[in-house]
Structure formats: structure tokens, C-alpha cells
Amino acid sequence: MKATLRASSKALTPSVIELFGGTMTSVAPNEDVLSLVMHHAEERPEALAVKDDLEALNYGDLARRAAQVAGGLAAAGAAPGDRVAVLLDNSAAWVTVALGCLWLGAAFVPFRAGDPPARLGRLLDNCSPRAIVTKGADELATGYSSSREAVAHVNLGALLGRAGPVPEMCEDPGADAYVIYTSGTTGGPKGVRISRRAFAHSVVTTSRLVGYDATARSLCVSAFYFDGSYGIVFPTLVAGGRLIIPRREELAFLKRFYSSVRDEEITHTSFSPTYLRLVLSTPRASGLAGTALGSLCLGGEQCMAADVAKIKELLPGLRVFNRYGPTEATVAVTSYEVSGDDLRSGRVPIGVPHPGTSFWLLKDDGSIEGTPGRVGELYIGGSQLMEGYWGDDALSRSVLVRGVDPDGPAYKTGDLAYRDEQGRYFFVGRCDDVVKRRSLRISLEELSGALRGADGVRGAVCIAADIRGELGIIAFVEADAGVTAAGLLSETSSHIPERMQPDEVHVVEVLPMSPRGKVDREELLASVGRVPWRQTGT
């Protein structure tokens, strides 16, 4: 079995370099995110590194502050191997604390300070941090008692002001770089442990493939408690570029997005397809034409060819990358540059795995699916896999399975995909997004895609919901004025047979975004008085 899998590995999982040419190899074993950033501090200390609405730090400043944070955390009782909870908004301070944790050898654990107190308390209990870093001097982590033993509540000012020796810089590639909690869309939130080795592989590979260098001016849009943001923050820093970090609440109103792109001469940015549709939905979008924006990375959701075509009309030279990857495989494992052929075909691949990463498609019976065009469940092997879920070895073993990849464990993604004759992979949907209704299997992503193709439609999502105790499908469609539910069903009838059509179609002005920049499905269902099917059914 293993010999057969090994022989078929290259045929099934070409890397992006093998498929499209080039000389890039996998990341060197001694490369480390912190050491690469510190290299720029030594070589170009005066170069601007991070700028937010309150301060601007050059690489020399960044290195000094990271060292001070490491010393402050050590003085507060944190040590290599501990976890440090970070409750800060997007800011230069957040970047400083993350680098300080890496310096010390403690894993940073990002949280959203605005989370419900009960949820935040549960997650803090789960990860057992040695220190909690918050914004203000008197601001404690709500829902987590400051009286707990061996837990220090500190703010950045206190960390920078603590006197004491700077600890030796951690260089252990097997140590945890960070622990990040999933959104909990399938079960409760789980703390994903990412090693420094996997982190470096993801960051350095992304930086090289997307084309970050010392001239990069990168705009941060996604929340820093969401690992998708790490696909721009750290690749920019290891390349010696400049991070621009506006207030996230201002970016939601778009005026700040457009002014930042123009005034800061932004060359790179990254966000979700949902945010891209928001960016393209206003007349201000025309202001992107003629700006310095040269690359855009999309991830977290299905990338739609029509959206990419619209922004490339404004910026013909823009390189758009479709990035795919679960949190458990360190941010993203593909960085596919969308081509003109993809836009003409109307379907965008997720591409091929990063060098050092392998893909496997499995049939329902557990055997390898080797035929192009045939759908299977996607498994990921290689250098970017998580160490496991914090505090849950049984769950870790259930998804990091043996016997698929001959070189080590493979992560069971729960995603359905197929590959074409070129070896490119296409995302089909989640395994749990394929529902069975009246003995018929229905892909909710397929339904959503058909609705997105209708005239006047800007976005669509289909959700399995409880309708009077039975499985139902509800479609929410963001569309122009005049688009009706009946008209949509009529127009898409050639793609959606009657027996597969949604039970309800709701036309909305805007599909709401969650704090992570994805479509907020819970808010949509709540708006029509429904709950997800999985909460009450099978």
C-alpha cells in the first residue's frame, strides 16, 4: 500500500513550482520567522516596518520592542513553552507582542477582545495562559479572574517598562509559534497548535510565491485574531517590507480602504471574497485604477471568477491569488495566481500545493482517487501540518491520520475537491455541506454557485436549516434592485432541477460579514427566524 501511494504521490500532487516552472525549493530547515525579521533590523534598522494610526516603527524599533516584550513577559513569569493570550486590536502593538512571544519561545494565542465574556473565559481556561496581554493598564480579560494563580495580566506599556535582562532568542523549530482557536463552525472552538517550523514554511513560501520584497507596502484588512491575516503580516515582515494597519472598524465603511490604498501607495493586500465584493459594490471602486496595487490574495471562501474579472478591469496588471488552506495546515497551502483562461472558463482553481506539501483525494471507501475530474475528500500532508489540538489528543489523532501519506500524518480536511488533467485542484464544498434530501444528495456550494451566476447577483449562499422540524435549504442572495426570488429560480432552472431548488430564497441588499470577514450565516438565519439544521437534526 505505501509503495503504491509513494509512487503515485508526484502524479497526484505536483507543487506550484513543478506545475508552472521555476526554481524555488522547499523552505530551508533553519529558516525562522523571527530570525528573518531580525535580519532586516540588523541590515536596515531605519526602514519603516509597521505603521498604524498611532505610531510608526522602523525595523530597529521593532527589534528593540520585541526584545523588551520578551523580557517583560519573562519578568511576569512566562517561560519558553508557555502560552501568552493576546487581547489587542489590529495594531503595531499586536505585531510587537507576537514577535516578543516568538523571541521568548512562548506561543502567542490571539483572541478577540469583544468576544462574549463566557466564551472568552472558556477559551482562556482551555489554553491556560501564563500571561494575558491587554490594551489598557486597568483592563483585564473579561470573564477570566485576575486572582488565578500564576496568571499575569499585563499591558504593552507595562511590558516595555519592566526592567530586567532580555532572554536568549528562542531558536527551537519544534516549539509552538502560536495556538489559534477555530471559529467553531463544526463543534466547539479548538485550539490549533502551529509549530515554528510549520509557521516558517507557510510564511516564507507565501512571501516568495506572491512576490513580497523590501519594496512591499502591505495593507492589513483581516483581523489579527484570524490566521488568514498572517498570510500578509508575516510574509511582508520577513521580506523587509512595510505593514500599514488602519483601524478595522473604519475599513468596514470602505472610504478608509480606498484612501489607504491611494495615500500609502499600497502594493499588496489580502482579504476574503466577501470583502472584495463589498469593495467592488460602490462607485468608489473606480478610484483603484491607476494605484500601485500589484497583488491581491483572496482566501477563506470560494473565489468567484466574476469578482476577479471586475477588479482586473480596474487594474489590468493586478496579480490575484486564490489561496486555500485550513487553520490546521497553517494559514494556506496553495497560492494560485488566477489566469485569463480561468476567468474565461468561469471557474477558479485552488491550484496545487506549496512545495513541501502534498494533496491526496480519498474515495468513500478510503482508497486513493486518481482519476482526473472525480471528486474525493481532500487530505493534506507535509511541512505545514499542525502539531495537534491543544489539550485534545484524541481529536488530534482522529484528523491527523496515518496510512495516507507515506511520509507522515495527513490532515483530514472535510473538504471535497477534484483535480483536472493539469494537476490543478478545484474546491467543491464541505463534506457537511452536501446534504441528503428525499434520497437526493445536494451540494449547497453547487446551488450557491448557480445563483451567483444569475443576472444582477453579487453574491449568494445556501444554508441547511431547520424548517418545521425537517431539513430545508434556504438561499440568501445579494442582488440589484428588481431581482426577485421567482425570477432567480426561473433563470437558474436549467442549472438547478426542481427537486434540488431551495425551499426559501431571500433577496438581501448586502450579505453580512462576520468578524473574520466571511459571510455571517448565523445572522442570516436569525434574520428569517431559522436555525441551522445541524443544531436540531442529523
* Rounded (10°) angle between helices 196-210 and 33-43: 60
Q: For residue 302, what pLDDT band results from cuts at 50, 70 and 90?
A: confident
433 burial (CB, 10 Å; 0-12 / 13-18 / 19+) is buried
CB 229 within 8 A of CB 247: no
Looking at this protein, which amino acid is placed at residue 73? Answer: L
Q: Regarding predicted confidence, which is higher, 252 or 434?
A: 252
Q: For residue 28, what pLDDT band results from cuts at 50, 70 and 90?
A: low
Question: Among the listed ranges 2-11, 22-31, 507-516, which one has the minimum average pLDDT value?
Answer: 2-11
CB 354 within 8 A of CB 209: yes
Give me the pLDDT at residue 113, please. Answer: 80
Top mean pLDDT of 248-252, 311-315, 493-497 is at 311-315
Q: For residue 535, what pLDDT band results from cuts at 50, 70 and 90?
A: very low
Give me the pLDDT at residue 162, please. Answer: 75
Give me the pLDDT at residue 294, please. Answer: 98
Give me the pLDDT at residue 526, please. Answer: 94
Top mean pLDDT of 282-286, 317-321, 487-491 is at 317-321
- Tell me the mean pLDDT in the region 151-173: 87
Looking at this protein, which amino acid is placed at residue 412? Answer: K
436-456, pLDDT tens digit by residue?
A: 776 677 888 888 888 988 999
- Tell me the mean pLDDT in the region 373-379: 96
Pairing label, strands 410-419, 425-430: antiparallel
Give me the pLDDT at residue 1, please. Answer: 29
Pairwise CA distance, residues 363 & 367, whole Å: 5
User: What's the whole-number average pLDDT of the chain?
Assistant: 89
Q: What is each CA distance from 258 to 246, 251, 267, 276, 306, in whole angstroms?
A: 11, 9, 13, 12, 21
Give me the pLDDT at residue 7, please. Answer: 29
Give me the pLDDT at residue 513, please. Answer: 86
pLDDT over 80 at 536, yes or no = no
CB 479 within 8 A of CB 507: yes
pLDDT over 60 at 371, yes or no = yes
Give me the pLDDT at residue 193, please. Answer: 98
% of the chain exceeding 90 in pLDDT: 70
- Tell me the mean pLDDT in the region 320-324: 98
CB 417 within 8 A of CB 391: no
Q: For residue 29, what pLDDT band results from cuts at 50, 70 and 90?
A: low
pLDDT over 60 at 201, yes or no = yes
CB 241 within 8 A of CB 218: yes
Q: Where are the beta strands (DSSP E) in 196-354?
A: 217-220, 242-245, 268-271, 295-299, 319-324, 334-337
319 burial (CB, 10 Å; 0-12 / 13-18 / 19+) is middle
Q: What is each CA distance from 414 to 119, 350, 360, 429, in whole angstroms?
A: 25, 15, 12, 9
Question: Global pTM?
Answer: 0.84
pLDDT over 90 at 159, yes or no = no
pLDDT over 60 at 528, yes or no = yes
Question: Among the listed ranges 215-224, 356-365, 462-471, which one has the minimum average pLDDT value?
Answer: 462-471
28 burial (CB, 10 Å; 0-12 / 13-18 / 19+) is exposed
Give me the pLDDT at residue 21, please. Answer: 55
Going along the chain from its start, the domains and CATH numbers come out as 438-536 (3.30.300.30)
pLDDT over 90 at 102, yes or no = yes
- Tell me the mean pLDDT in the region 324-339: 97
pLDDT over 60 at 220, yes or no = yes
Give me the pLDDT at residue 209, please. Answer: 96
Give me the pLDDT at residue 420, please. Answer: 97
pLDDT over 80 at 81, yes or no = yes
Pairwise CA distance, residues 222 & 220, whole Å: 6
Q: Regarding predicted confidence, which is higher, 211 or 25?
A: 211
